[in-house]
Structure 1
Amino acid sequence: MATPLPLQRAAALPALLGLSLLHATAAAQPAPSGGTPAADPLFAPRPAVRRAGFTAGIAGGLSLGSAAGFPNDVQKIGFQRHYTETGVGIGGGGYVWLGGVLADWLTFGGAFGGHALSAADHGSLAGGFMFHTEVFPLFSLGERWREVGVIFDAGTGVAYTTPDDSDTDVIDGALPARIGGGVFYEGIRLWKVSMGPWLYADYTWSTSVRQPGFYLGWRTALYTGP
């Protein structure tokens, strides 16, 4: 007598389950010693071709800027009779920095610097510490494009303005905030030192001061890697 079709399928079920288990076990086995799985290119390490290790540098040159604000006194901030505005002044400024190279196209560290100006019988100074980031956005294009960098800075410091004939600050920033940014080219190379022109701007502000600065000068950086 022929076995009904449902019973035939039921009888074949253990064999099918055993075959599936065999395939799963084989797939879970490690690859033979003779073959190494290919690494994901997205996470594969890449040797540095331009920048590596630690970095340190200095940048400086001509500076233009202005200052406006009040003394650091709650009884004077916001009152017109205590307000001072210097107008545009000229001076010098720059930064030094120290950090690490995270990739051929990215460095990060700390910077310290600022500018000093003379304008309208006043002397102004703004400076301090900032976190310093450099990005080389055109690095993938190769050749000279690898030497074009962009700077981003943020931190805090000091800012004050004093008349030439007095020691009393007419503007006092009281630990103001600072941001900065710029562009540079470091295609002139000597051993591990890279040099080139530098264009930069920063801005210092608090409830008692507004002080922008613009810089044009020269930059020199050391990379300890290749």
Structure 2
Amino acid sequence: MIPSTAAEDYVKAIYGHTEWQPEPISPSQLAAALGLANSTVTEMVKKLAAAGLVRHRPYGAVELTDEGLALALRQVRRHRVVETWLVEQHGYDWDEVHDEAEVLEHAMSDRLLDSLAAALGDPVRDPHGDPIPAADGTVVRPDAVLLAEAAVGHVGAVVRISDADPAMLRFLADAGIALDAAVEVVGLKPYSGSIEVRVAGADVALGPDVARAVWLAS
């Protein structure tokens, strides 16, 4: 079976859900991630299961098979190499690349992809810190702790920032919170859920949504 663009998008979304946390994705979560109706996703999941790309029981989670994982890693590699290429070679900001990469990742050949990766020095992470799978599917993920779960006194470099919200990326950039920036957790405000961090000598208060989008070296 030659995978369709839709199949590639589905397996990539399933992979992305469990990349930084262990809980498998439900059909309703998958629908939300893809911006589609639950009924549409249910039908497509049945097709993916018939094609051997996912495992799914009624009312249960959706999980990738080995074949589905291989396809997902291929698409993730494409997406993240393209994002890196747009930032490093074309002057895009890190909050601008996701939608462009969503289109371009389906249009390039493996030969072009490998050529781009080689020209970039075979990067191992994208502009947001997400690991770029190697051509053979190998993934090297840094040891990391979610900022929302870090203890007071924890100090670590930023190793990953979720790219789900471009406005949040701009806010974090303005606050000096970018990849490799040293961040110290200096205080927690349990009733508001905010976390105070120190970056480059300045204290910054981050809301709970932001704290759940940043990972620090553990």
What TM-score, normalized to structure 1? 0.19
Higher relative strand content = 1
TM-score, normalised to structure 2, is: 0.19
